[in-house]
A and B are shown apart, each in its own frame.
Chain A
Amino acid sequence: MKSASGRLLVASVCALVLCMMACESNDCMLSSESYCSMAFVNGQGKAVKLQDTLTVSSTADVVIINRKLGATGMDVPLSYTALVDTFFLQYNSRLADTLWVEHQNLPYFSSMDCGTVMHYKLQGVRTTNNLIDSVRITDSEVTNMLKHNVKIYFTVND
């Protein structure tokens, strides 16, 4: 091999390696937490906006939503360790519902840069029936890619 062509080869490889190192990217999701996303619908399955204020709290004494007016849904965090979480939905001073979410906890490794995140598999959803008529799981996999997991059917119309 001629020495000039040898140097050219080495230089080419070095340039390519440097280019590849510079081109490495980090594709982490924006959210590092997984939320169970619930959509509010009426009896016909159409989206509804609640006329009352909505306050959602958990048994951990954490207020997740505080007196929100015109809510069309809610994203609730699930426990890392418990298998059933309880949420209290307070519509106004007189009406309330309780929601139980059963889930399997799946600690998930995203990547070395993005770290870990908790994923869940929904096992079941139960509720009282004051304003809520019924609930249905639409997608049992709860990840940090926000998508609707549950539909809550209200007895009220839009």
Chain B
Amino acid sequence: MLPVTQAMAQQKRQYQRTTEAQRSKIAEWLDLTDSIPVFQGVNLMVDAVGPGWYAFGGDFLSTEVALEVNLLNRFFPVVEVGYGQTDATNEDSELHYQTSAPYFRIGANYNVQYKKKRPGYIYAGFRLGYTSFDYDVDGPPMVDPVWGGELPFHLTDIQSRAFWGELLVGVRAQVYRNFHMGWSFRYKVRFNVKNSPNASPWYIPGFGANDNNKFGVTYDLVYQIPWGKSGKAH
């Protein structure tokens, strides 16, 4: 009988410890939410990798701005708007591909160091991207090797659209007062792309070269818009 009583007492102590731990966690959460306002400010960002890649000889030029809301220094809903374009010619195949169109992404970041009171953080996040665009392809005439004859190759105003998702991780650090910099490393998965009977797009604005999945990187130049005291807080 005695061992049973001891076991029950032990279970009771364990239950008390568990509930205390849970209470502590909730209290910690409440303390955090009580100590700082939910709205912590707005960040304006531009990506430097897109223009940089093009400047160093890349085929694609992508310019992008983003607006990010800081909630509790923990959650960062973000909207990214960009313009992607290419006007490329392949020297081997002599094909010329041209397109330019805006693209949009929405998503959020989560600051994994939200408890630390310092002006920089490490984050993980996701994006959903969409673009609708037209493209042209020109090339040398197609020569029939068996039946003879040739066919000019000009495809114009082919309509397409694409929908994709991105998972990302990144870091950001303060450079000077309200200016921050940081990079994000992204894994992109194409959910859907519209092909025509005559072509599948080679370049998708905002996504990059057409593929099922790919990696991407951004280097963000961030301006923390002063908003009450929040500009100084984090």
Q: Is the interface of A mostly helix, strand, loop or mixed?
A: mixed
Q: CB of A45 within 8 A of chain B?
A: no
Q: How far is the CB of B207 from chain A (nearest CB, A)?
A: 14
Min C-beta distance of B168 to chain A, whole Å: 12
Chain B residues, Cβ within 8 Å of A77: 145-147
Per the 8 Å Cβ criterion, residues 26-61 of A in contact with B are: 33, 58, 60
Contact, CB under 8 Å: A108 / B199 = yes
Task: Using A112-B93, A113-B93, A115-B95 as known contacts, say yes or no to A81 and B149 having CB atoms under 8 A apart.
Answer: yes
> Please, how many residues of chain A have a CB less than 8 angstroms from a CB on the other chain?
39
Whole-angstrom distance between the alpha carbons of A13 and B32 in the complex? 34
Per the bound structure, the CA–CA distance linking A77 and B144 in Å amounts to 10
**Which A residue's beta carbon lies closest to that of B208?**
A20
Query: B142, B146, B181, B200: which contacts A107 (Cβ < 8 A)?
Result: B142
- Using a CB–CB cutoff of 8 Å, the interface residues on chain B facing chain A are 49, 53, 88, 90, 92-93, 95, 97, 120, 137, 139, 142, 144-151, 153, 155, 171, 173-175, 181-183, 185, 197-200, 202, 209-210, 215-217, 219
In the complex, the answer to whether A9 meets B199 with C-beta atoms within 8 Å is no
Please tell me if A135 contacts chain B, counting CB pairs below 8 Å.
Answer: no
Please determine whether A108 and B198 come into contact, CB atoms closer than 8 angstroms: yes
Min CB distance, A3 to chain B, in Å?
Answer: 11
Give the Cβ gap from A33 to chain B, nearest Cβ, in Å. Answer: 7
A81 to B151, CA, bound (A): 7
Taking a contact as CB atoms under 8 Å apart, the answer to whether A60 and B139 are in contact is no
A-B contact count (CB 8 A): 108
Task: Specify which chain A residues have a CB less than 8 angstroms from the CB of B137 in the assembled complex.
Answer: 109
Measured between C-beta atoms, what is the minimum distance from B211 to chain A in Å?
8
Closest to A119 in B: B197
Shortest beta-carbon distance from A94 to chain B in Å: 27
Q: Taking A1-B175, A107-B198 as contacts, is the C-beta distance between A13 and B219 under 8 angstroms? A: yes
- Contact of A111 with B142 in the complex, beta carbons under 8 Å: no
Decide if A12 is an interface residue (CB 8 Å cutoff).
yes
B149 and A80 contact, CB distance less than 8 A: yes
Q: How far is the CA of A62 from the CA of B148 in the complex (A)?
A: 11
Give bound CA distance, A118 to B149, whole Å.
Answer: 13
A1-B175, A107-B153 known; A112 vs B144 contact (CB < 8 Å): no
27 interchain pairs (CB within 8 A)?
A2-B173, A9-B183, A16-B185, A16-B215, A17-B217, A20-B215, A20-B216, A60-B146, A62-B146, A62-B147, A64-B146, A77-B145, A77-B146, A78-B147, A81-B149, A81-B151, A82-B147, A107-B198, A108-B197, A109-B139, A109-B153, A109-B155, A109-B198, A112-B93, A114-B93, A115-B93, A118-B151
Count chain B CB atoms within 10 A of each CB in A17, A24, A64, A114 and give the residue with the most. Answer: A17
Q: Are B217's CB and A16's CB within 8 A?
A: yes
Do B217 and A20 have beta carbons less than 8 Å apart? yes
Least Cβ–Cβ distance between B78 and chain A, in angstroms: 20
